[in-house]
Amino acid sequence: MRITDRQIEHYREHGYVIVENFLEPGELARARDEIEVYIPGWLGYAANPRGAKPEGWDKPARSRRTTRFPFPGTQLNAITLHPELRRFASVMNGQQALYCEQSDLSYKCKEHPADKDQHMHVDYINHTLAYPPVDPTYWQTTYLVYYTDVTEDQAPTAVCSERHYANEIRWPPFHSPEERPSLYENEVKATVPAGSLLAYSVRTFHRGTAFKKEGARVSQFISYSPAACPWLGINGWPEQGTRPEFRDWIERAEPREREIFGFPAPGHPYWSEETLAGVGARYPEMDLSPYRDCPKEEIG
Ligand SMILES: [Fe+2]
């Protein structure tokens, strides 16, 4: 297990955990190869900030619509569905079925529009329409996977343990240093080597910090929710349904992987002669036999 029991306990106690060197060297290298094709020049610039900045570095980041799962290639998609990320999210929410609500690539450098010293905040405000209770049944787990080294100078994410605000209703969701200095005095910065992971709850105060020196940071936001709660989730995957990359991914995925993105499971009453014909027409390469052959569930 790459995420140890001790790290799981740390998350339960503090609302976050840092897992250094989470990715195996091969996974990290393949992911970086894909990133180099996707956003050329950013990794090279991060490694050598004395060199030229990537082309278009000062343009606002492409919107989440265009830096979102599925990615060209296979490794960033595989990391989105990483068995350890799924296991950890599942342990946190009591072994419920999961919904992957987010997988976005994020990149920024000094003076980039996203280079900001943020105020402490909780992320639930754009991950649910309701409020995230302490009951783990409703826990959403958010991850940041880092693809470049993050030192004190390279905009580390800062996070403050839940111990400092346990039993408080997390409202308002933002606090300035003047309003709530203790959140800042007790922050821990995720300074980590490339391939590391920060997991934090949508109830945990954290913030992005600014670059102190020239440099760049490339990371991936991945979030999981319990599948049974349709009020949870930062986005809806059908919005991506017209992208050829999505068609390619969904045609080749396993039924269990498709379910994690909200696709109806084998045996669901949704499946009929009509829906099998329609889904087959839309996704000609998809093997429909699991949906055709599975007996219908009794939905009472
Ligand atoms: Fe945040």
Q: Determine the distance separating the centroid of ligand 1 and the alpha carbon of 18, expressed in angstroms.
A: 16
Q: What is the span of the domain harbouring residue 135?
A: 5-254
231 and 201 within one domain: yes
Q: Determine the distance separating the centroid of ligand 1 and the alpha carbon of 78, expressed in angstroms.
A: 24
278 and 155 within one domain: no
Per the structure, the count of domains in the chain is 2
| Cβ contact 234:223 at 8 Å | yes
The Cα–Cα gap between 75 and 64 comes to 19
> So what's the pLDDT on residue 235?
79
Q: Determine the distance separating the centroid of ligand 1 and the alpha carbon of 292, expressed in angstroms.
A: 42
Q: Determine the distance separating the centroid of ligand 1 and the alpha carbon of 271, expressed in angstroms.
A: 39
Nearest-5° Cα angle at 182, 176 to 187? 90
66 and 109 within one domain: yes
Q: Determine the distance separating the centroid of ligand 1 and the alpha carbon of 201, expressed in angstroms.
A: 10
Nearest CA-CA partner of 299 in 277, 271, 273, 275: 271
Q: Determine the distance separating the centroid of ligand 1 and the alpha carbon of 194, expressed in angstroms.
A: 20
Q: Determine the distance separating the centroid of ligand 1 and the alpha carbon of 193, expressed in angstroms.
A: 20
250 and 298 within one domain: no
Q: Determine the distance separating the centroid of ligand 1 and the alpha carbon of 202, expressed in angstroms.
A: 8
Q: What is the CATH number of the domain that holds 227?
A: 2.60.120.620
> So what's the pLDDT on residue 57?
87
Measured CA to CA in angstroms, residue 251 lies from 7, 20, 80, 248 at distances of 36, 34, 17, 5
285 and 204 within one domain: no
What tens-digit pLDDT sequence spans the chain (300 residues)? 789 999 999 999 999 999 999 999 999 999 999 999 999 999 999 999 998 889 888 877 665 667 899 999 999 999 999 999 999 999 998 888 999 999 999 999 998 888 999 999 999 988 988 889 999 889 999 999 999 999 999 999 999 999 999 999 999 999 999 999 999 999 999 999 999 999 999 999 999 999 999 999 999 999 999 999 888 988 788 888 888 999 999 999 999 999 999 899 999 999 999 999 999 999 999 999 999 998 877 554
Q: Determine the distance separating the centroid of ligand 1 and the alpha carbon of 274, expressed in angstroms.
A: 43
Q: Determine the distance separating the centroid of ligand 1 and the alpha carbon of 259, expressed in angstroms.
A: 27
Q: Is residue 259 part of a domain?
A: no
> So what's the pLDDT on residue 221?
96
The Cα–Cα gap between 117 and 222 comes to 22
Q: Is residue 28 part of a domain?
A: yes
> So what's the pLDDT on residue 36?
96
